[in-house]
Amino acid sequence: MKRVAKVKHLRILMGMTQEQFAETFHISVGTIRDWEQRRTQPDTASQTLLTLIERAPQLISGLLNELCHDDSHCRVSHC
C-alpha cells in the first residue's frame, strides 16, 4: 500500500477538495497536485506551513487572508 502524501492526508481530514484547500491557504492547485502525486516535495518553508495548517487551520487561513487581502491572486510564495 502506498503512503499518502502528508498534504493529501491533511486535506482529506479537513474535508476539503484540492481547490478548496488551495484557495483557503493561498497555495496553487498545481502545487497541491504535485505534492499529492509526489512529483515534487514541499520545501522547508512549505513543510512548516503544512505543520501550522495542521495545528491551527482557522488561524493560518485568517492570517493568510489578512496578509493577502489586497491581492485576490496572492499565493504564499508571492506575498
- Provide the pLDDT for residue 69: 73
Q: What is the pLDDT of residues 9-64, one digit of tens each?
A: 999 999 999 999 999 999 999 999 999 999 999 999 999 999 999 999 999 999 99
DSSP symbol at 38? T
Domains and CATH numbers, the chain: 6-78 (1.10.260.40)
- Provide the pLDDT for residue 1: 46
Confidence of residue 68 (pLDDT cuts 50, 70, 90): confident
Which three three-digit cell numbers place residue 42? 514541499
- Provide the pLDDT for residue 79: 40
Q: Which amino acid is at 21?
A: F
**pTM recorded for the entire structure:** 0.82
